Amino acid sequence: MHPSPPTDSPPRRPLHLLAGLLLLVATLGSIQSVALAGERLQVVYHVADENKVVFALNNIANHIEGAGGADQVEIVLVTHGDAVKRFIDIEAVDRVRRAVAELQQQGVTFEACAKTLELLRFGRDELLDGFIVAEQGGVTRIAELQSQGYVYLRP
């Protein structure tokens, strides 16, 4: 029987904490460098759950305010799945209708998945005014935006 090697090696937790801290600093640094360079932060909000629509719209309004105004951030909301129903004109509650209109005035772009519209049997003209249809599909559109440097958020 061979004795097992000594286990008095230092714990790895400090290394994990250090790695996490370095990642946080790098992320904050890149966000700060965008702000310092005068570039607008680009963000894509992904909404697929119909119960999260109002929450997401509130997050976007708070995001714009927290960023220092609409001129500081470029936001695109891409929706697919059941959440699309909340943006159908006849189905939309006044709260959603008002929030979308206000956010559009602040430059927020709203896009709905063409495949979801087809699956749910809604016409493009049934979406709230100002919506764009993501012909390639919602998740593909989100991936495109991410490849263009958009930060991904899913409330």
> pLDDT tens-digit profile of 19-69?
444 444 444 444 544 444 568 999 999 999 999 999 999 999 999 999 999
Contact status, residue 110 vs residue 130, Cβ threshold 8 Å: yes
What lies within 8 Å, CB to CB, of 110 at 6+ separation is 76, 77, 79, 87, 100, 103, 104, 128, 130, 131, 132
pLDDT at 59: 98
Mean pLDDT, the chain, rounded, equals 86
Residue 109 predicted with pLDDT over 60: yes
- The residues that bridge with 110 in the sheet, in sequence order, are 77
Going by the DSSP 8-state scheme, the letter that residue 98 receives in this structure is H
Q: Which CATH class is domain 40-153?
A: alpha beta
Question: What is the model's pTM?
Answer: 0.76
From residue 142, alpha-carbon distances to 8, 30, 74, 108, 138 in Å are: 48, 21, 14, 15, 6
The proportion of the chain whose per-residue pLDDT surpasses 90, expressed as a percent, equals 74
The proportion of the chain whose per-residue pLDDT surpasses 70, expressed as a percent, equals 75
Residue 18 predicted with pLDDT over 70: no
Q: Tell me: the pLDDT tens digits for 80-94?
A: 999 999 999 998 999
Nearest CA to 108 out of 132, 77, 78 is that of: 77
Section 6-30 average pLDDT: 50
Q: Which residue has the higher pLDDT, 17 or 118?
A: 118
Separation CA 57–CA 155 (nearest Å): 10
Contact status, residue 53 vs residue 96, Cβ threshold 8 Å: yes
